[in-house]
Chain A
Amino acid sequence: MQIYLPIAEMSVNVFLILGMGGGVGFLSGLFGVGGGFLMTPLLILTGIPPAIAVATGANQIVAASVSGVFAHWRRGNVDLKMGLVLLGGGILGSVFGVWLFSHLRSIGQIDVVITLSYVLFLGTIGLLMFIESVRAAIRTRRHIRRKQHMHLWIHGLPLKMRFRRSRLYISVLPPIMIGFLVGLLGAIMGVGGGFIMVPAMIYLLGMPTTMVIGTSLFQIIFVMANVTVLQAVQNQAVDIVLALILLIGAVIGAQFGARAGAKMPGDQLRVLLALVVLLVCGKLAYDLVATPADLYSLWVRG
Chain B
Amino acid sequence: MRLSPVIAGCLLLILAALPVSAADEPDDLVVDLSEHDVSVTVDFAGADLVLFGATEGVGDVIVEVRGPIRSEAVRRKERIAGIWLNRDSMVFHRVPAFYALASSRPLKDIVSDDALATLQIGVNNLWLIPDHTAEESEIAEFRAALVRNKQAVGLFPAEPDEVKFRGDRLFRADIHFPANVMVGPYEIKVHLVESGKVVRSTRTPLTLSRVGFEAGIYRLAHRWSLAYGILAIVVAVMAGWLANLFFRSKA
Say whether B41 faces chain A, with CB atoms less than 8 Å apart: yes
Chain A residues near B186 (CB-CB < 8 A): none
Chain A residues near B120 (CB-CB < 8 A): none
Instruction: Count contacts between A and B, CB distance < 8 Å.
Output: 179
Chain A residues numbered 46-80 whose CB sits less than 8 Å from any CB in chain B: 59-60, 62-68, 70-71
A residues sitting closer than 8 Å to B (CB atoms) are 1-4, 6-7, 9-11, 59-60, 62-68, 70-71, 108-109, 112, 116, 221, 225, 228-233, 236, 238, 240-241, 243-244, 247, 251, 255, 288-289, 291-292, 294-301
Say whether B106 faces chain A, with CB atoms less than 8 Å apart: no
Q: In the complex the two chains form, what is the Cα distance from A251 to B230 in whole Å?
A: 22
B70 and A2 within 8 A (CB): no
* Nearest-CB residue, chain A, relative to B146: A298
Partner of A296, one of B75, B233, B239: B75
Q: Evaluate whether A229 and B236 lie within 8 angstroms (CB atoms) in the complex, with A108-B86, A297-B75, A300-B72 already known.
A: no
Chain B residues near A228 (CB-CB < 8 A): 229, 232-233, 236
Partner of A2, one of B43, B230, B232: B43
B87 to chain A, nearest CB (A): 9
Mask, B232-247, CB within 8 Å of A = 1, is 1101110111011001
B171 to chain A, nearest CB (A): 31
A240 and B232 within 8 A (CB): yes
A59 and B236 within 8 A (CB): yes
Q: In the complex the two chains form, what is the Cα distance from A229 to B226 in whole Å?
A: 6
Say whether B148 faces chain A, with CB atoms less than 8 Å apart: yes
Q: In the complex the two chains form, what is the Cα distance from A109 to B97 in whole Å?
A: 23
B235 and A244 within 8 A (CB): yes
Q: In the complex the two chains form, what is the Cα distance from A63 to B179 in whole Å?
A: 30
Chain A residues near B180 (CB-CB < 8 A): 9-11
Say whether B231 faces chain A, with CB atoms less than 8 Å apart: yes
* Nearest-CB residue, chain A, relative to B228: A232
Partner of B218, one of A7, A291, A294: A7
